[in-house]
Amino acid sequence: MKADNTTQTPQEAELARLLVDTLNLEAVASEIDPEMPLYGEGLGLDSIDMLEISLVVSQQFGVKLRADDRDNVRIFSSLRSLNAYIQSHREL
Amino acid sequence: MTQKLLVQEWAARRERGSLPLIKLGVWVALRLHRRVARLFLYPICIFFLASSPAAARGSRAYLARVLGRKPRLADIFSHFLTFASCVLDRVFLLNEQLDQFDIRVHGEEIVRAIEQRGGGCILLGAHFGSFEVARAVGRNHADLPISLLMYEENAKKIRAALAAINPRLATEVIGLGRMDSLISVAERLRQGHFIGVLADRNINGKDMVSYPFLGAPAKFPQGPFRVAMLLQCPVVMMVGVYRGGRTYDVFFETLAEAPESRPKDSDAWLDGIMRQYAARLEHHCREAPFNWFNFYDFWA
């Protein structure tokens, strides 16, 4: 299935629900624009939220997000890119 | 000289970060004996007393609470002088001149136990007394890797100032300005680092919670405590109290052991540890009132 820009794929929808539950966000998971920035402007997450995301992603998917990864800005840039990173690194 | 350092410290709004002047101040201070350099603190404090009415007001309001009486001008001067002394001593401490001081350490076994266990801890300090003296103790006694976590804007200035004071001393300062700042903290903790945070001021601009403090509610940031909870590491309070002359008392106190798992009721865990932090800070304020270095209305 090819998603258009603002439609969540099933995997993205699952990740959105995980983030909303973990961070107690007021946003409705299914309404999060997968292209919207997670950090700062956009979803309005701060560095503590980013820490929580890294912990829950490691726990749920076995994917380690590392501080020295130069791609972090890209990885965390949106729900879509975070999901893409997880999917390409997760332990099967 | 030291005056410029004082200006640097005094209030964020005044900070202009003039590194050449800091370097000059440090150069002068290190060439004078500490006792001679201290003589400069008196005119400097008189100058600030006269020229910083806002800081004097903040001092007066705090002292009235902690002393339980109307503060005299001499009290406010002592308050300023204690602050100035700690700033000056930082120059000597950062240059590893610990023999200039009589430092008494209380609770060092807490630090040793954590060091042996590995996995680091969060060291919670405050704008109270000298964080630097406590850090110097850590470096000197145990060669502990200590990183400081702070606002990005301050982190830049502090990094530059510390490098100016002693370029040989690699000080790890983690700024909060990056989205992965705290992921970096988590990694360092796993490597056994001690992460120092001053937990009496806001670190991320939100999540302030009120606790009783010296007789009235004051707001404390939840951020540092949430980080400790998420990372499940021990939380140790670290306070370096200046006693006058060349004497400091450094206190390490356990606020929480490392939780085995994420606390089920995270709000209750946070409430408990923040209440305890505020209470211990109050204790130290009552015991050494002039060491409080928040020169603004903390209860606003």
Q: Is residue A66 part of a domain?
A: yes
Average pLDDT of the residues of chain B: 85
Candidate from B179, B187, B226 with C-beta closest to A50: B179
- Mean pLDDT, residues B128-134: 89
Range of the domain at B49: 3-291
Residue A4 pLDDT > 70, yes or no?
no
CA distance B182 to B171: 17
Hey, what's the torsion of the CAs at A42, B184, B194, B190, to 10 degrees?
A: 120
Residue B299 pLDDT > 50, yes or no?
yes
A50 and B182: CB-CB below 8 Å?
Answer: yes
Residue B73 pLDDT > 60, yes or no?
yes
Tokens of A29: 């998971």
How much is the pLDDT for B152?
73
Local confidence band at B6 (pLDDT 50, 70, 90 cut-offs): very low
How much is the pLDDT for A92?
62
Q: Report the chain A residue with the minimal C-alpha distance to residue B177.
A: A47
Residue B9 pLDDT > 50, yes or no?
no
pLDDT in tens, A66-82: 887 778 888 888 999 99
Candidate from B179, B223, B227 with C-beta closest to A76: B179
Q: Is residue A60 part of a domain?
A: yes
Q: Is residue B296 part of a domain?
A: no
CA distance B274 to B254: 13
Q: How many domains does chain B divide into? A: 1
Tokens of B144: 């502990």
Phi, psi of B79 (to 5 degrees): -60, -50
How much is the pLDDT for B295?
92
pLDDT in tens, A14-23: 999 999 999 9
Element (H, E) at A89: helix A79-89
Local confidence band at B55 (pLDDT 50, 70, 90 cut-offs): very high
Q: Is residue A45 part of a domain?
A: yes
Nearest-Cα distance to chain A for B184, in Å, is 5
Candidate from B183, B223, B226 with C-beta closest to A50: B183
Q: Is B236 helix (H, G, I), strand (E, B) or coil?
A: strand
Q: Is residue A56 part of a domain?
A: yes
Phi, psi of B129 (to 5 degrees): 60, -145
Residues of A in Cβ contact (< 8 Å) with B195? none
Residue B8 pLDDT > 50, yes or no?
no
Phi, psi of A6 (to 5 degrees): -110, 5
Residue B7 pLDDT > 60, yes or no?
no
Please, which residues have CB within 8 angstroms of residue B15's CB and are 6 or more apart in sequence? Answer: B7, B8, B157
Average pLDDT of the residues of chain A: 86
- Mean pLDDT, residues B136-146: 72
Q: Is residue A71 part of a domain?
A: yes
Candidate from B179, B186, B204 with C-beta closest to A39: B179
How much is the pLDDT for B11?
40
How much is the pLDDT for B134?
82
How much is the pLDDT for B300?
84
Residues of A in Cβ contact (< 8 Å) with B193? none
How much is the pLDDT for B125?
93
Return the amino acid letter for B106: H
Q: Report the chain B residue with the minimal C-alpha distance to residue A68.
A: B184
Burial class (CB in 10 A: 0-12, 13-18, 19+), B236: buried
Q: How do strand B235-242 and strand B247-256 relate by DSSP bridges? A: antiparallel
A residues 42..61 contacting B (CB < 8 A): 46-48, 50-52, 54-55
Q: Is residue A58 part of a domain?
A: yes
Burial class (CB in 10 A: 0-12, 13-18, 19+), A28: exposed
Range of the domain at A19: 10-25+34-89
Residue A2 pLDDT > 60, yes or no?
no
Between A and B, how many CB-CB pairs are < 8 A? Answer: 54
Most confident of B3-12, B145-154, B247-256: B247-256
Taking the model in full, what pTM does it have?
Answer: 0.87
Burial class (CB in 10 A: 0-12, 13-18, 19+), B114: buried
- Mean pLDDT, residues B239-249: 96
Nearest to residue B226, comparing CAs of B273, B264, B275?
A: B273
How much is the pLDDT for B71?
97
Question: Is the CB of residue A28 less than 8 Å away from at least one CB of chain B?
Answer: no
Residues of A in Cβ contact (< 8 Å) with B176? 47
**Could you tell me what percent of chain B has a pLDDT over 90?**
49
Q: How many domains does chain A divide into? A: 1
ipTM: 0.85
- Mean pLDDT, residues B9-36: 67
Domain at A14, CATH number: 1.10.1200.10
pLDDT in tens, B83-101: 999 989 988 988 888 889 9
Burial class (CB in 10 A: 0-12, 13-18, 19+), B2: buried
